[in-house]
Amino acid sequence: MSKPTFNDAQPPYKHYYQAAAAANVIVKGQPGYLHSIIIGKFVSGGIIEVSDSATDGDGDVKIFLETTGTDTAFPKVIPVGTYFEDGITADITGSQSYVTFVYK
């Protein structure tokens, strides 16, 4: 069986919503494509780390996002468009909340 290909025009995307800060948030425990991250609410110093791992949010970090005190234009959609070979797992810290991962 060949490796799947991911096309932005190919539905459906799934959504994983995380209401509060947490470690090792497993968005997808197998290979997948992260389309975007939606940050729904401003939290000064909130951090989102996304790792290419099926279980560990701070293992093989591929994406690091931090909200700052001067950036208050929320909600915010962060386009990602990246394939994760092992899985999609996040650490959400610094009281960051209301985060949605759009993936397939």
Q: Which amino acid is at 70?
A: T
Range with the poorest average pLDDT among 4-18, 35-49, 75-89: 4-18
The candidate with the shortest Cα–Cα distance to 18, out of 63, 57, 52, is 57
CATH number for the domain whose boundaries are 14-103: 2.60.120
| DSSP state at residue 60 | S
Q: Are 48 and 98 in contact (CB under 8 A)?
A: no
Residue closest to 52 by CA, chosen among 78, 32, 23, 80: 32
CA 93 – CA 104 distance, rounded (Å): 24
pLDDT of residue 1: 45
For the stretch 54-90, pLDDT in tens is: 988 778 899 999 887 777 778 899 999 999 999 999 9
Q: Which of 14 and 3 is assigned the larger pLDDT?
A: 14
pTM of the model: 0.85
> In terms of pLDDT, which residue wins out, 11 or 88?
88
